[in-house]
Amino acid sequence: MTSLLSAYGNAWNQQRSDTQPLKQNDTDTPVTIHTSKVITTTPAPRAALPPIFWLHKLAWNYYPIVMKILGKGDEVETCAGGLVRWNNCPPVFNLRNIFTKHELRDQNIFVRCPKPHYEFFYSFVKYAINPGNINKIVAISSSISYDPIRNELCARSGNLGTNIALISLAVKIDQGIFNTREMNAQGLYAKVMEQADRGIQIVELYRELTHLVPDTTPPTNSEIEQTRFYTHTPGGGASGFL
C-alpha cells in the first residue's frame, strides 16, 4: 500500500488554520458500493416570527420562558402596547388549573417593595372574597387587585411564581389562615415573596391553592339558556288572562 505521504510529500499533511488533516483509509479494505438511488428531501422552511414592536423588551423576553409552562398564547399582539393572553389555561405542575386567564402586557411597572423590580405579568383567579376582607387584602400590595362584580382576584408581577405566592397570600388571609396584624408584625409578606424564588416552594404553594380555591366550571349552553327565561309562573299571572 502506498501512502499519500510518500506520494505527495509533506505538503499533504501540512496543518493549516482553516482545515484539518484528512484521515487516510486503508485501501486494502474492501469497500461495499451501494447502487441504490438516494432521494434527498429539502425540509420545509420554518415560519418566520412576525416582527415584534413591543416597547419593553424585558416583558417580551419573558414570553418564551412562561411558554414552557403555559404553552403558546391564545392571543398574541405584537404591536406596541400589545399583549399575550392565555384564555384556555393548561394544568400547572401537573395539578388542577385554578386560573381563568393570564396576560403578559407590553409594560414595565416599577415597584419598590419588597425589593425593586418590574411587573408585567398578570394572573386571574375566579374567587369570591368575603366583603369584609377586600380592603385588608388589596392593602397588602399594589400588585393585588380584586373585581367584586366578577369575583375575580388578580395578581401582577414579573413571573408566574410570584403571582402564585401573591394569590396564596390573599386566599389565606380571606380564609383566616393568616392574620394581617400578625403578618405585618412578623414580616410575613416579605417571607412569602422570598418563596417565589424557590421552585419547590412555589409548587407547594400552588398545591395548597388547588385545595383552597373552589373548582369553577363554565356554565353549559343549556344552563345559560335557562337563565334567559322564567322557569316558574308568577303568582296571579295565569288567572289574570283567563
Q: What is the pLDDT of residue 193?
A: 77
* Cell digits of residue 213: 380555591
pLDDT of 199 > 60? The answer is yes
Q: Which of the listed ranges 4-18, 192-206, 223-237 does the model predict with the highest average pLDDT?
A: 192-206
Tens-place pLDDT, residues 9-62: 555 455 444 445 545 555 555 545 454 554 454 554 544 556 889 999 999 999
- Model confidence at 218, pLDDT cuts 50, 70, 90, reads low
- Residue 179, amino acid: N
Please, is 153 exposed, middle or buried when counting C-beta atoms within 10 Å of its C-beta (0-12, 13-18, 19+)? Answer: buried
CA nearest to 86, candidates 96, 71, 101, 99 = 101
pLDDT of 240 > 50? The answer is no
State the angle between helix axes of 160-174 and 199-212 in degrees (0 to 180), rounded to the nearest 10.
Answer: 40
- Model confidence at 140, pLDDT cuts 50, 70, 90, reads confident
* Cell digits of residue 181: 396584624
* Cell digits of residue 5: 505521504
| Cis ω for the linkage preceding 214 (within 30 of 0) | no
What is the percent of the chain where pLDDT is above 70? 69
Q: How far apart are CA 78 and CA 94, in angstroms?
A: 30
Instruction: Say what the alpha-carbon torsion angle 153, 155, 160, 166 is, to the nearest 10 degrees.
Output: -90
- Model confidence at 77, pLDDT cuts 50, 70, 90, reads very high
pLDDT average, residue stretch 98-119: 91
pLDDT of 161 > 90? The answer is yes
Q: How far apart are CA 150 and CA 128, in angstroms?
A: 9
Contacts of 190 (CB under 8 A, 6+ apart): 114
Q: What is the pLDDT of residue 205?
A: 93
Instruction: Tell me how far apart the terminal alpha carbons of the chain are, to the nearest angstrom.
Output: 118
Q: What is the pLDDT of residue 241?
A: 46
Q: Answer for the pair 21, 13: CB distance below 8 angstroms, yes or no.
A: yes
Q: How far apart are CA 167 and CA 199, in angstroms?
A: 16
- Model confidence at 215, pLDDT cuts 50, 70, 90, reads confident
For the chain, give every domain's residue range.
Answer: 58-214
